């Protein structure tokens, strides 16, 4: 069980929502968009599926038991394998994310 972050390329504008949606669709996934206000939290939980998430705007930190804290900024991708326990804390500006199950 693991979680990993793929950081967006430095020095370039983050991808648009439409570009991220196409990236999901290219992998055969149908994403959903969600967001939360500053400082919101998600308690510890796990999923029975592979979670793929992109940060669209703002920031969020995913807490994992085995991989520490994983901070996402716009354009960053998070992959969470099934059964991986994680929690999250939204950054000071709130966050908007796009995610799908693989």
Q: What is this structure's pTM?
A: 0.94
Neighbouring residues of 93: CB distance < 8 A, sequence distance ≥ 6 = 38, 57, 58, 59
Residue 16 to residue 67: CA distance in whole angstroms: 28
pLDDT exceeds 90 at position 11: no
Q: 25-70: per-residue pLDDT in tens?
A: 999 999 999 999 999 999 999 999 999 999 999 999 999 998 899 9
Nearest to 61 by CA among 30, 97, 29: 97
Number of domains into which the chain is organized = 1
pLDDT, position 25? 97
Integer distance in angstroms from the first to the last C-alpha of the chain?
15
Range of the domain at 27: 3-101
Return the CATH number at 59. Answer: 2.60.120.10
């Amino acid at each position: 069980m693991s979680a990993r972050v793929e950081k967006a390329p430095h020095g370039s504008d983050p991808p648009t929502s439409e570009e991220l949606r196409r990236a999901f669709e290219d992998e055969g996934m149908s994403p959903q968009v969600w967001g939360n206000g500053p400082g919101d939290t998600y308690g510890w939980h796990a999923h029975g599926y592979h979670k793929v998430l992109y940060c669209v705007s703002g920031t969020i930190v995913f807490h994992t038991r085995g991989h520490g804290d994983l901070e996402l900024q716009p354009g960053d991708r998070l992959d969470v394998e099934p059964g991986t326990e994680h929690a999250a804390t939204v950054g000071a500006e709130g966050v908007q994310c796009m995610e799908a199950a693989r």
